[in-house]
Amino acid sequence: MKIKQIPEDFIVNEIIKLKTSDSGDYTYFWLTKKNWTTLRAIVEIASRAHVSFKRFKFAGTKDKFAVTKQTVSAFKIPPEDFENLKIKDIEIEIIGFGKEAISLGTLTGNNFEITIRDLKKSDFEILKKNAANIRKKGCLNYFGQQRFGGGNTALIGKEIIKIRRISRS
């Protein structure tokens, strides 16, 4: 079983509760990125917009080796400052304005689209047996550097699936 062979194999879309309005000190935007850490992407955006990185807030970091979409707030930076920014593998889509910075409490969760390659029959059977439960309850995010600091976390995920299967038998 192989996970995360290319960035498009791991797609993350943030679920966020956000109160937008026609005005406010914060400009909210969707940040879609590929092969960028969240911090590095925002540092690059700040640099190209000629503003301080400290004016940007977000609800959580997202994987680098993935295609991710998350919300960012920018303090007293008008949307026009983002219009002409051309950064490879980064897209900015203005959502609106608000009175509060985005923070960890703003994040409700994440939707994941994970492509698994080179499944063996035994891997497929384990996934098939757990699929209904995962669809119903979801799955904790045990993958990525923010969880284990690097290495092959796909092996950890595979073992978790096996443990869940054994514990239900």
Distance CA 21, CA 51 (A): 23
pLDDT, position 133? 79
Convert the pLDDT of each residue in 126-137 to its tens digit.
877 877 777 777
> Of these residues, 25, 63, 81, 123, which one is catalytic?
63
pLDDT means per 10 residues in the chain (169 residues)?
89 92 95 96 97 95 93 97 95 96 87 87 80 74 52 61 54
Distance CA 120, CA 166 (A): 18
The answer to whether residue 63 is catalytic is yes
- Domains along the chain? 7-108 (3.30.70.3160), 119-168 (no CATH)
pTM to 2 decimals? Answer: 0.77
Residue 63 neighbours by CB distance under 10 Å: 24
